[in-house]
Amino acid sequence: MSVREAYSGHESFALRYGWLPKLYDAVADDSKLFADEDAAIARLGLGKNMVRALRFWGDAFGLLAPDGRAVHPTPLATAILDPVHGRDRYVEKTETLWQLHWALTTRGHLGAWNVVFDEISDPEISRRHLTNMVRQRAMRTRGEISPATLSTHVAVFLQCYAGSDQSELVLEDTLGCPLQELRLCRLVEGVGDQIVKMPRGPKPGLTVAAFAHILLDHWRNRLGENRTVSLRALLHERFAPGKVLKLDEAALLDRLEAMCRAVPSFAVREDGVGGMHLVALREDALSHLQEAAA
């Protein structure tokens, strides 16, 4: 069953620093936290709209598993945020942010994310054009949305990745989102409109472990039993790592070669017609990739 794309639910709030460990602790302590909104407000120390936004982001990042009126931390949430077993309890590492960005983009079913990280290949776009593309996608996937919903959704996306956006969000809502550290987008003033720049190329903090995690997830969910995949496919196919991470060919090849050095079960090879392929040399190559992603 297809999941309906979301263009609201974040209550105009981008994710904030400190929210994810707060969410994990609260849900691990009380799985029915969100069944009683007043109790959730008291437990989290946030206002009603912020509590709703926090629940929204927990779902969108794939950190919460619903179970009737209860929610439980997912394996991804535990692997990152657990006080004892989590590898980055307070989300301080950029490589963790890459993993969260990947999960949000490929599983969050958010309209603006799908447009920017799957449809757009140009390195820049006007804000007006971006907004129109998001509106058109909404019409294709779920029907017309109101101008206010559309404007807020685009504003929240830009706040997540490109910094404060005073035209749509009040000052107290612009405290910064950790995803800005990925430098995937930036806003500059153009003639008569803002320009959203999304340069392709090397990315800060995209470690071998982070890239291995992303490639493993992509392979399992989109490549299946295949033992080879072309560099072109990893750059250009739907929700491919090159698209979602905004890598150019050189940056993607660099990460693939670094991963192959860490995981000798894979190799990058020429295909004989001017292209390159990533080849799994062994049947258990994905298990080795999983070890590198840990």
As a whole number of Å, the end-to-end CA separation of the chain is: 31
Query: Do 256 and 219 reside in the same domain of the chain?
Result: yes
Cα–Cα distance between 271 and 150 in angstroms, integer?
44
Query: Do 84 and 121 reside in the same domain of the chain?
Result: no
Q: Indicate the residue among 50, 75, 90 that finishes a domain.
A: 90
Cα–Cα distance between 149 and 154 in angstroms, integer?
9
Query: Do 236 and 152 reside in the same domain of the chain?
Result: no
Instruction: Record the pTM.
Output: 0.93
Q: Is residue 6 part of a domain?
A: no
Query: Do 138 and 121 reside in the same domain of the chain?
Result: yes
Q: Is residue 11 part of a domain?
A: no
Is residue 287 helix, strand or coil?
A: helix
Dihedrals phi, psi of 33, to nearest 5 degrees: -55, -45
Give the structural domain span for 217: 208-293
Q: Is residue 5 part of a domain?
A: no
Query: Do 127 and 173 reside in the same domain of the chain?
Result: yes
Closest CA to 267 of 223, 229, 235: 229
Q: Indicate the residue among 55, 75, 90 that finishes a domain.
A: 90
Q: Is residue 12 part of a domain?
A: no
Query: Do 32 and 73 reside in the same domain of the chain?
Result: yes
Q: Are 100 and 23 in contact (CB under 8 A)?
A: no
Q: Indicate the residue among 199, 230, 263 that finishes a domain.
A: 199
Query: Do 147 and 171 reside in the same domain of the chain?
Result: yes
Counts of helices then strands in the chain (DSSP H, E): 13, 8
Q: Are 223 and 241 in contact (CB under 8 A)?
A: no
Q: Is residue 285 part of a domain?
A: yes
Length of the chain: 294
Q: Is residue 7 part of a domain?
A: no
Cα–Cα distance between 245 and 117 in angstroms, integer?
8
For the chain, what is the domain count? 3
Query: Do 50 and 86 reside in the same domain of the chain?
Result: yes
Q: Is residue 101 part of a domain?
A: yes
Q: Is residue 194 part of a domain?
A: yes
CATH number at 241 reads 1.10.10
pLDDT tens, the chain, 294 aa long:
457 899 999 999 999 999 999 999 999 999 999 999 999 999 999 999 999 999 999 999 999 999 999 999 999 999 999 999 999 999 999 999 999 999 999 999 999 999 999 999 999 999 999 999 999 999 999 999 999 999 999 999 999 999 654 444 443 444 589 999 999 999 999 888 999 999 999 999 999 999 999 999 999 999 988 889 999 999 999 999 999 999 999 999 999 999 999 999 999 998 877 788 999 888 899 999 999 996
The reported pLDDT for the residue numbered 175 is 55
Query: Do 109 and 137 reside in the same domain of the chain?
Result: yes
Query: Do 224 and 288 reside in the same domain of the chain?
Result: yes
CATH number at 77 reads 1.10.10.10
Query: Do 138 and 72 reside in the same domain of the chain?
Result: no
